[in-house]
Amino acid sequence: MDRAFLLDFLRNLAANNHKTWMDAHRADYHQARAIYTALVQEVLTGLQAFEPEVRGLTPADVMFRINKNDRSQRDPEPYKRRMGAGMKRDGRHAPWAGYFLAIQPEGHSWMGGGIWRPDTTGLTRIRQEIHYNGAEFQAVREAADLQQHFPAGVQGEQLQRPPRGYDRHTPDLEWLQLKQFTVVQPIADADVLRPDFVPRVLAGFRAAQPLVRFLNEGLRD
């Protein structure tokens, strides 16, 4: 699996992010996409060995398109500068917490777990889970394995004031103010090329699993 070709393609795309270039390099895109698909398949197979929630999923279920769907008038680039996948129950766009892997050159690759931008109902349920089970959430956050793989800890965009239904004296308020709940580990280009890259990603996913399960338990309620 030539992950160096994948990084080179994405590096060139970042420097030539327009349809004319992409049309002229369509064959290179398909080759890079095939390399990333094989990588995702390998990671997904390893993840399915210990995470029942993602069993039965294929790379097609979890890989994001490279085309941007939400460009603003200020964004002239039609393509993302990365290839990414969201490995979670029911696929990439499902409203569950899960596991993520993005490949982007110049040290912008990353892996992680959790949930980005849950809808209002999901966010309310997660906050209730944290409020009712604060000690369990603390244990998840402070687990040695999680801290080893994700030193920055659980993070996300945060409200400036207590969310509706809570006040400034509510226990665990700093966590209830979060609008997303994620752990992220940046990945250097050299690490993407390592022979043991996939096992390292899977070790990170395993470390994130208790957080993912805690969040999904709240979402199920």
SS3 of residue 21 by DSSP: helix
Query: Where would I find the H helices in 16-143?
Result: 19-24, 26-48, 59-62, 120-132, 134-142
Task: List the 83-87 sheet strands across, edge first.
Answer: 83-87, 98-103, 109-115, 181-187
Integer-rounded Cα radius of gyration of the chain:
18
CA distance 132 to 128: 6
Q: Which residues pair with residue 183 across a beta bridge?
A: 113
So what's the pLDDT on residue 113?
98
Structure tokens at 147: 């801290």
pLDDT of the residue at 71: 61
Closest CA to 197 of 9, 87, 43: 43
Q: Which amino acid is at 134?
A: G
Q: How far is CA 128 from CA 26, 160, 173, in A?
A: 48, 19, 12
**pTM tops 0.75:** yes
**Which has the closest alpha carbon to 195: 18, 37, 42?**
42
Walk along the chain (221 residues) and give the pLDDT tens digit of each residue: 799 999 999 999 999 999 999 999 999 999 999 999 999 999 999 999 999 999 999 999 999 999 997 666 577 899 999 999 999 999 999 999 999 999 999 999 999 999 999 999 999 999 999 999 999 999 999 999 999 999 999 999 999 999 999 999 999 999 999 999 999 999 999 999 999 999 999 999 999 999 999 999 999 97
Do 205 and 51 touch, CB atoms closer than 8 A? Answer: yes
